[in-house]
Chain A
């Protein structure tokens, strides 16, 4: 009897080590525990697979290593081998072998083509000139960067580049040129940008927003020719557009679309799709059953996909098939969210309303610069697709609803303030398109692994780790799964801010360490530390920069100044009530001039000086304090300003002296630390020039005294203040405001403005305002005396934080950029001049905004 021998491993050859080829190899290795296949991968590029989707981050500071996609150990033994810089030259189908560009022959039992796409370069005269590039590989980007650097070294004034093609990739390339310090032009043949995704209305707005980024857009025209420039430096180029426009350029990037890389298959006589691409069935097999194609080179279901998610799905299907499985490919979602800095664009489903009988619902708001369109079925019942420009926050919730019944009135769904009707997605709705995860699979993971937050979901399922646009939905799924949205302040404290306030007040706890060791765990974070710092400061337990308290402060409180995007700080002295003497105004001007600070009048009636590094802050403040200024607490969660109108002293309508009252209030409450900032306003008559009703505390003069308003807010969610008391005298007014502020400090949540806090005070039957009246005026809780005393202590103990710092060498020690080079200024900080003032040059990076998730 012959002994039973295991089958010898079969030979698999993979052509292409791009995103999909690599995913396929890893998927197969993960499932092929018995090593039924040995794998040989050919890679045309000189480096192993990298994240092409994130290619542009190469200009945002990412390096080639951080884009690497290959899992550790993938090519560590001889059953799985990768050959870099070696391409497949031809396929011998009869002989089951591949000839490579180094002259080797590789035999295969199965052959996988994962050759991706190549950039289409239209036949423009001059397209072969040295300054012309495409945008597909890291080598392409290196070449573009080198040309940009050459231009920077040789071109005076504006450097400029031309991107041919205004689609998704073209806009990405334009942004890359911006990051390289160039002023890009984009030429698009269609009458709008992103013609494949965005409709006309959205395109117009998109154009405005892109142009605001210093990109010049030319629509409805093409490039007629590209020539060497006339200038002496032969590397300059001149492009002439079909409409006659001439552009003087440093370089040209072609981004006019991609074509499937199907040449190998074509030469081998494999069937192709009608418009190119290697034709495959839903198991990824080509017309030769031993040859398969996946990714952008494949034409599946008569479509060629230019996105990575469908390619990953094909990779999984094929891995399953090669091990005897029966998985098959289902048509994929091609929704897109543009990850271009600062511009929110999303398109999903049938965005261009090509479905028979489709109806469009459009809302366009030129003032807010937002545009939204939903495409619905002819009976207005089913959502088919949509376009969002300017505000894509609803993308996450709308995309999974495509093809499903609308949960509400379509207009309400895209109306700016219109909250989404509460709706529950069906279990099979795709929530994370990047990783192909449905609601059911994510909710399953939440239940199975007891996940309680978004980072947990990300780590466990990968949902939310691609483009990030599904993160808001993940929060909804947590809530739907009954994960109690905890009231704990953060992972270190199970209490709310108000509870912690009571603990500190009751036990007179004076340090964070004492509080966290008895009532919390760990060592705190950027949420609880500033909260505790604020509580300690509200209770007057020491200077905010002393001892351990100093380590709790946010950078703003730590340097008593506001951090700006380039790491410099702004300086805002108090100008109580907006009243300032000419002498003091001159000092502000002199300080700004001498320290080269950008100077601007703020929305709060005072003057902000921007762009100070940390080391000159004490010298700046020495000058200001000597001239009689004090800290304006623009950096703190504290009283900001008490805005005033000119009032009865000058104004012909005024009935009370609004300026004097505003100054009195501002000096009384200055420096008080609170859950969020507090703003106040005093108007001299009902004309309300101080906009007091949009402030946390608003006072309006009447013939008989003052009307007191509370809970107003400008900002993100504007709210008119509510009238708390009418026609009161100044003493009653001040006493009531004292209590209002102190009660707010004791009971509000972290970062809760008074507007939201007042609303949160409504108790069965009584609204927040009635409850406040009972506490502050009728003393229903019996705490009025305590609140009054607490404010008296604050007023008595107030000292100017900046003056106190200048007098103390220990507190001054922190004002250096570098601990080992105290005199050295931070070399990363640089300015250019704009309208005769400094303006920061930002370091080349900036993915924060681009990746920011709309939550």
Chain B
């Protein structure tokens, strides 16, 4: 299985990657939340093994719950649906697919020695 890392190259070169958990701790097609400083980050492992990191806060309600949404695809784009009012977000870009103009922050994420790391300022 290959792990695709979704991060711009210039970011990967810089330091400051935060180790989060073992890759094996991530349930396939499910999210989990991580606390990085005071930031809440939602991590997702999709069916093909990729890992994505976005903000855990649902921009529609303010609640920190996106990690608990259902993971899936829309037109082959990997997605998560907010567990509160079901708006769907593109995991790779953070864009809300049901409300143009709304987006959540995405964070670069990579795998190093079996450990998932994110780059969050």
A contact set with B: CB distance below 8 Å:
60-61, 66, 455, 458-459, 465, 491-492, 513, 522-526, 528-530, 548, 550-552, 554-555, 558-559, 563, 565-567, 814, 817-821, 824, 826-829, 842-848, 851-852
Contacts and interface: CB of A to CB of B under 8 A. Distances in A.
A558 B68 contact: yes
A61 B57 CA distance: 10
Contacts of A846: 61-62
B86 A459 contact: no
Given A565-B63, A819-B43, 6 more contacts: A66-B103, A529-B72, A550-B27, A820-B19, A820-B21, A848-B87
B90 interface: no
Contact of B30 (A525, A551, A826, A842): A551
Contacts, number: 142
A554 B70 contact: yes
Contacts of B26: 819
A458 B100 CA distance: 8
Contact of B60 (A455, A819, A847): A847
Nearest to A827: B38
A555 B65 contact: yes
Q: Which of A552, A821, A828, A844 has the most CB of B within 10 A?
A: A828
A818 B79 contact: no
Given A819-B34, A846-B62, A524 B86 contact: no
B73 A525 contact: yes
Contacts of B64: 567, 826, 828-829, 843
Contact of A843 (B34, B46, B63, B98): B63
The 6 closest A-B pairs by CB, nearest first: A845-B62, A848-B60, A843-B62, A526-B81, A555-B83, A525-B72
Secondary structure type dominating chain A contacts = loop
A847 B34 CA distance: 25
Contact of B59 (A61, A492, A828): A61
A69 B21 CA distance: 39
B117 to A, nearest CB: 11
Nearest to B20: A820
Q: Which of A551, A565, A820 has the most CB of B within 10 A?
A: A820
Contacts of A852: 85
A525 B62 contact: no
B97 A567 contact: no
Contacts of A555: 65, 68-69, 83
Nearest to A566: B63
Contacts of B74: 491, 522, 525
B100 A819 contact: no
B68 A563 contact: yes
Interface in B13-70: 19-21, 25-30, 32-36, 38, 40, 43, 46-47, 57-65, 68-70
Contacts of B83: 554-555, 563
A559 B37 CA distance: 26
Contacts of B47: 513, 523
Q: Which of B29, B30, B87, B100 has the most CB of A within 10 A?
A: B29
Given A61-B62, A843-B63, A845-B59, A525 B70 contact: yes
B56 to A, nearest CB: 9
Given A465-B100, A565-B61, A848 B73 contact: no
A206 B33 CA distance: 41
Contacts of A458: 100
B88 interface: yes
B121 to A, nearest CB: 15
A852 B57 CA distance: 18
B5 interface: no
A803 B56 CA distance: 30
Given A523-B72, A554-B70, A455 B86 contact: no
Contacts of B21: 819-820
A459 B75 CA distance: 14
A522 B85 contact: no
Contacts of B84: 563, 565, 848
A745 B67 CA distance: 30
Contacts of A528: 72
Nearest to A614: B68
Given A491-B75, A848-B60, A818 B35 contact: yes
A851 B83 CA distance: 17
B27 to A, nearest CB: 6
Given A819-B33, A845-B62, A526 B86 contact: yes
B99 interface: yes
Nearest to A844: B62
B96 to A, nearest CB: 11
A819 B71 CA distance: 17
A525 B79 contact: yes
B61 A820 contact: no
A646 to B, nearest CB: 38
Nearest to B46: A523
B101 interface: yes
B113 interface: no
B73 A465 contact: no
Contacts of B101: 66, 465
Nearest to B27: A551
10 contacts: A455-B97, A465-B100, A491-B75, A522-B76, A525-B70, A525-B73, A552-B70, A563-B83, A818-B32, A851-B99
A455 B97 CA distance: 8
Given A465-B100, A842-B62, A843-B62, A526 B72 contact: yes
Contacts of B40: 818, 826, 828
B4 to A, nearest CB: 15
Given A819-B43, A820-B21, A824-B35, A551 B71 contact: yes
B2 to A, nearest CB: 17
A583 to B, nearest CB: 35
A847 B21 CA distance: 33
B61 to A, nearest CB: 5
A320 B71 CA distance: 47
A61 B61 CA distance: 10
Nearest to A526: B81
A845 B33 contact: no
Q: Which of B59, B72, B101 has the most CB of A within 10 A?
A: B72
Contacts of A824: 35
Nearest to B103: A66
Contacts of A563: 65, 68, 83-84
Contacts of A558: 30, 68
B7 to A, nearest CB: 19
A848 B85 contact: yes
Contact of A819 (B32, B81, B97, B98): B32
A752 B102 CA distance: 31
Interface in B77-119: 78-79, 81, 83-88, 97-101, 103
B68 to A, nearest CB: 4
A818 B43 CA distance: 10
A567 B63 contact: yes
Q: Which of B28, B34, B35 has the most CB of A within 10 A?
A: B35
Given A523-B47, A821-B35, A847 B59 contact: yes
Contacts of A567: 63-65, 68
B93 to A, nearest CB: 14
Given A523-B47, A565-B63, A843-B64, A817 B73 contact: no
